[in-house]
Amino acid sequence: MLATLAIVSLTGCIGSNQQTPTGNAIADTGGVDGNFIAKASQVPENTIREFTYKGEPAILVNFGGEYAAYLNKCTHQGAQFNESSLVNDRIQCPRHGATFKPTTGEYLGHANGNNFGLKGLSRINITLDNGGIYAE
């Protein structure tokens, strides 16, 4: 049975690192055909993992047991997030500190308190099936 984990919207980000399935890394789905992202067990609570979605860098977030996926592109100036970008309860851009809500991608302002009214992250719809997480 498929369970919808998240509703998507895309705003892109681009990651240069495509990972192959090793250790804790997420499988590179290669795009449309193999839409498998990772086993849920490979993405522990409160972690971010990178993967490729239709040729674009993307991230999968497990925040408090809730999964969400986004194109890996900050809506400020396009920097990419990494596996260290989950800071406290936010996804935080490593370049200038824009922060986003992990479960929705909503822009929450910059870490220094500024708010530039940025768009949220572009979301990728995902589903959970038999312990696997799949992009739609």
Binding site for ligand FES (CB under 6 A): 74, 76-79, 93, 95-98
The least CB distance from residue 100 to ligand FES, in Å, is 10
In the bound state with ligand FES, the residue whose beta carbon lies nearer, of 27 and 108, is: 108
The least CB distance from residue 77 to ligand FES, in Å, is 4
Q: How far is CA 134 from CA 2, 30, 67, 71, 107, in A?
A: 10, 12, 11, 14, 25
In the bound state with ligand FES, the residue whose beta carbon lies nearer, of 96 and 101, is: 96
**Chain CA centroid to CA 37, Å:** 11
The least CB distance from residue 4 to ligand FES, in Å, is 29
In the bound state with ligand FES, the residue whose beta carbon lies nearer, of 36 and 107, is: 107
Torsion, Cα 95 47 36 25, to 10 degrees, reads 80
The least CB distance from residue 110 to ligand FES, in Å, is 7
Q: How far is CA 52 from CA 89, 112, 117, 129, in A?
A: 24, 30, 27, 19
